[in-house]
Chain A
Amino acid sequence: MEESSPLPVSRNLGLCIMLLDCSGSMNLSAFPNHPLSKRELITTAVTAAIYSLTGLGTKAFAYMMLIGFDHETKILLPATSLEDIFNKFPDHIDFEQFLLNKMPNRNGATDINGALRIAYHYTQKFIDGDLKEQLGDYSPAVQSIIDSDLNTHSIPNVRVLLFTDGEHYLGDDDRNLMPSPFNNLSFKGKNINLLMSAFYGEEQENGYAQLLSLVSHCPKHPGTPQFFHYNTPAKLPSLKGLFRMASGASGFCPKCLEESHFATTDL
């Protein structure tokens, strides 16, 4: 028989926000002659990443928020605990279908600036503990990060991942990417940039340079941007790893991702 606690147990929550490009170009094939569209590909990868966390002991405290954007921004999944996701969608296929149905599918443009603004607003409110109406009584979970000089920093257990295959484009008069609002993200008076970006396309495309200009550098691996590039099918297996890393708030950059592959294995 369980006894009840005489004091409320504090809820320290983690949050991952994924910003998923749903513009028209995402309907194209993932690769030449590939049966899957880019939209289907990332939906599968996001779903696989989320469902790889079914064994997480802290499912009730790990929150996921999915935002889709074309020329408008749409909340695909409001901040929801992994526990609630798994309860509502015991079968990952159902979640994948739910996501596909929710994504705008209308050959829209690409408003990266707007999507980032909304994600930033939500992230800062979460960190400040100002989402109690939606999430109940909580505090943001805090994790320690050791930088390359072996100094320890406390940061909130939050990651934001932007995934796109293009550049900011709302018409010929609006195609400039603004500086990332995440440069202003603060926790206990200190700036900390928790935005990671992933670009799906070729290096010579405008979107590649645009997205690269957004990101800051990994606190653990000096000189390594918090940026991921997908341009060949060979890189696809790591896509799930990227989404999983973001979901589990366990890294920042490609080196973090590689380290996670050998973090617990024999040399």
Chain B
Amino acid sequence: MQQPTCDSMEEKERIDDKGSTYSLSAQVYLAAGPRKNISNDTELGEDVAGVKLVDNSIFFWILDGTSDSIILSVKNDYKDFKLEHQESVQNDSVENHRDEITNAALAETCQQGSEPNPLEGNANSGEEKIDVQLSSINHSGEIAIPETEETHLQSEERLHEQEEAINVAEEVNLKKGSEVQSDGDTNAESNEKSGDKVEVIPPGKDLKEKSGTLINLFSSRILAMEIANQLMLTTFEINKQDIEKIIGNIEKPLLERINKHLHGEKREKLIERLNGGYQYVVSSTMIVGKFSLNGTLEYIQIGNSELSSLPPDVETESVSNNGQVVMGLTYDREEDCFRIRTILHEENLQPRQKFNLDEVFIYSDWLSSNFKLLLKTASTEGTEANNPIFQYLKSPQKTYDDKSLIYVQRRKVHAS
């Protein structure tokens, strides 16, 4: 059983009107679920959890991309591969990210009716930086730069290829002079169907020259990460308008990503499928909120990620029908371009508020009912050894799913 790991911590102190000092801290626990189906391993890690500190509040979010939805992916050609490698090397600061984003307007991108974002600090996200798995801000206030998905995929694929190459090289020694090819994808069945073959490069050859990197252009995981990235970079409040705007802002970078990588025959193939009634629809649940030093909690819940508090004043219900951010890819025949249609339901965007809370647990759908039951009778006081909440969190959950939990605590440190 994979145990969750602590990935992030924030802390802030303040002195209240009575002279008491409070601290605000957050921990994020994440565990990638086991593969639901090894032969169809597609989107491991589609949970995205993040926190950020703004003034006297901690903002938090968990997004859970739908794991079995369709993935629009394409194998990169050599030119793109090289370009992206160079970009990933250059992207070593947030400022670099923002410069590139500004310059990321692509001629092929059709206008999606995007307006300048009135939200302070918003950056129009480019494809190089959409793959934030966990946004974290350390104690000194520096923002940790996330690894881009491309670099992640490339490095993973390279490792895999290295292993493959060693195996194949041994085989080559046995069959001298023979030309060897092997599937580089774990999804052998898919490869069989698509007829793709990945050339295996012998050890010692520079793998950076290798083309054929598989890039996900539009998927539920990409959607979740793109929204999370906007939440990280944008100043926002917990209200309908800001959240709608943040979600709306990701349409353009998603389309840019698709247009950048889809050309010629592959573009035509996608158009043919869309015209043929096949659905390229992706979705993600989303819970986003803000917990302040004065004990006020504000949140918006879209879907089945939930939230509990101590004292146990907050009772969320899993939102089932229409409980997702949904985006569908369409083709505009008249304008000859792709568009994204976003569905958000008004009833899920209503902010809720609670006051005088000390602790808040925000979690994806893996522990809801039992955990809520436990919170009604327990508290996190005491040592970890005798505290039932932490005991529960440390026990095997066996839900066979990704798991995310953010724990935010307001604690009175001392009174003057």
Write the nearest CB–CB distance from B218 to chain A, whole angstroms: 11
- Which of A53, A154, A262, A266 is the one whose CB lies under 8 Å from B214? A266
Q: Does B18 contact A (CB under 8 A)?
A: no
Q: Are B373 and A150 in contact (CB under 8 A)?
A: no
With an 8 A cutoff between CB atoms, is A250 at the interface?
A: yes
Does A5 contact B395, Cβ atoms closer than 8 Å?
A: yes
B40 touches A7 (CB 8 A): no
Query: What sequence of 0s and 1s flags, for each residue 245-261 of chain A, a beta carbon within 8 Å of any chain B beta carbon?
Result: 00010100001001101
B residues 389-404 in Cβ contact with A at 8 Å: 391-392, 394-400
List residues 1-25 of chain B with CB under 8 A from any CB of chain A: 1
Cα–Cα, bound, A261→B320 (Å): 28
> How close is A162's CB to chain B, nearest CB, in angstroms?
24
* Residues of B close to A6: CB separation below 8 A: 374, 388, 391-392, 395
Interface contact A255-B278, CB-CB below 8 Å? yes
Of A19-27, A55-63, A65-73, A165-173, the stretch lying at the interface with chain B is A55-63
For residue B33, give the distance in angstroms from its CB to the closest CB of chain A: 7
A2 CB contacts on chain B under 8 angstroms: 1, 396
Given the complex, which residues of A lie within 8 Å of B324, measured CB to CB? 144, 146, 152
Name the segment of B51-59, B70-78, B163-171, B350-358 touching the other chain.
Answer: B70-78
A interface SS class: loop
Task: Say whether A234 faces chain B, with CB atoms less than 8 Å apart.
Answer: no
Q: Count how many pairs of residues, one from A and one from B, have CB atoms less than 8 Å apart in the complex.
A: 125
State how many angstroms separate the Cβ of A194 from the closest Cβ of chain B.
17
Contacts of A124-180 to chain B: CB distance below 8 A: 142, 144, 146, 148, 150-154
Q: A6-B395, A57-B36 are in contact. Are A265 and B190 (CB under 8 A)?
A: yes
A232 at the interface (CB under 8 A from B): no
A10 at the binding interface (Cβ < 8 Å)? yes
A→B interface (CB under 8 Å): 2-10, 52-53, 55-58, 61, 142, 144, 146, 148, 150-154, 220-224, 248, 250, 255, 258-259, 261-267
- What are some 22 contacts across the A-B interface (CB < 8 A)? A3-B391, A3-B394, A6-B374, A7-B374, A7-B392, A9-B370, A56-B36, A57-B34, A58-B36, A146-B281, A146-B283, A150-B343, A154-B320, A221-B278, A255-B277, A262-B193, A263-B70, A265-B196, A266-B75, A266-B196, A266-B214, A267-B73
Q: Which B residues contact A (CB, under 8 angstroms)?
A: 1, 33-40, 42, 66, 68, 70-75, 187, 190-191, 193-194, 196, 214, 262, 266, 269-270, 273, 277-279, 281, 283, 320-324, 326, 328, 341, 343, 369-370, 373-374, 388, 391-392, 394-400
